[in-house]
Structure 1
Amino acid sequence: MERHYYTYLIEEEFAGHYFGRESVMFKLFYDYHWTGPDQKSQLAAKQIEFITKPIP
């Protein structure tokens, strides 16, 4: 089985807000990455885009 890892830099505002509630963030990213292309949520994509920083 091949594993895939994704790295995101979370904006400080959101990192502080979700500290201790990592399971909520994990579920957002997990659901987005492991759903089929026809089922991907536009809302989840926008949420991820909003709370993450571009990796330099």
Structure 2
Amino acid sequence: MKGQIKVEFLSKKLTLGNVEEIINELFTEIQSAYEPEQLTAKIIIRVKKEKDKVMYL
């Protein structure tokens, strides 16, 4: 899985706690298949402003 990226599209209704649960599930999945020296997660929220409205991409 080295070098691979897994993308999850999340609902606007999720809380930070929900995101933490998803990350923990992904960590467990990775650790069960591999023995990584380091395990990190990156969360990116993409938005743009259009006509005074925030649009999530």
**TM-score, length basis structure 2:** 0.35
Q: Which has the higher strand share?
A: 2
Q: Which has the higher helix share?
A: 1
| Structure having greater relative contact order (Cα 8 Å, sep ≥ 6) | 1
**TM-score, length basis structure 1:** 0.35
